[in-house]
Amino acid sequence: MPLASILSDITTLVTDAIGSYGLYAVFFLMLVDAVLPAASEVVMVYGGAVASGAFAGQAITLFGYHFESGLPAYLAVATAGTVGYLIGSIGGWALGDYLGRPWLEHHGRWLHLSAEKLDRAERWFDRWEEWAVFIGRITPVVRSFISVPAGVFRARFHPYVWLTLLGSALWCFAFAGAGWAAGASWESFHHAFRFVDYIVAAGLVVAVAWLGRRFLRRRRQPAADELG
């Protein structure tokens, strides 16, 4: 099946869920996205568009309370996304801490975490330390693969929570704001941002290759010194 068709199907599933379940869908999908990619860009942009009142018959409600379209609904959507993502991130950290690296190297494919991805994540944390969490949370593609490795590599819990909260809040409020501003034209922003995903992914490949080259050089240098 062509990639464009798959992405279109995912977008339809997400928008249908948010159209039917509103804040509950935003919360749940962002919770999942903290561990496995769940189209967080679409979730927040479309949620923001619904909050703007752009779609008749779709409203933002919580336990029977109706949020007025505009700023109140926007704040509710952005907050639901932020809280859902934070809770999912804490769960991912706990999962990584509990299972440990050996288990994930053997069974991590269920979480899309191969041994190679764990190696890259370890280099990421070694380089950026605690700020790897914040940088990862605002980086497309990478953001869904930070939680479990953070637990595996014993990232300090309290800084992890606060940096995750900051990064996820920036992400959720920004994308929900873009959807709110775009309204019924939200898809135009979504399609434009997809190219950013590809650019960032390509940049990450280059960055990982550069870090790998530096790592190999450092390992070879002591051996060369011993021979000399």
Domain count, the chain: 1
pLDDT at position 219: 58
Report the alpha-carbon distance of residue 79 to residue 18 in Å, rounded.
15
Q: Are strands 65-67 and 60-62 parallel, antiparallel or unpaired?
A: antiparallel
Q: pLDDT tens digits for the chain (228 residues)?
A: 454 566 667 778 888 888 888 899 999 999 999 988 877 888 999 899 888 887 877 888 888 888 988 899 999 999 999 999 999 999 999 998 888 877 777 766 666 667 777 777 777 677 766 777 888 788 776 777 788 888 888 888 998 999 999 999 999 999 999 888 888 777 665 555 554 444 444 444 454 455 556 556 665 555 555 545
| Distances in whole angstroms, Cα of residue 217 to Cα of each of 44, 99, 110, 149, 150 | 42, 32, 33, 25, 26
Please check whether residue 81 is in contact with residue 73, taking contact to mean a CB–CB distance below 8 angstroms: no
pLDDT at position 13: 84
How many helices (H) does the chain have, and how many strands (E)?
Answer: 9, 2
Segments forming the whole domain that contains residue 165: 3-227
pLDDT at position 84: 96
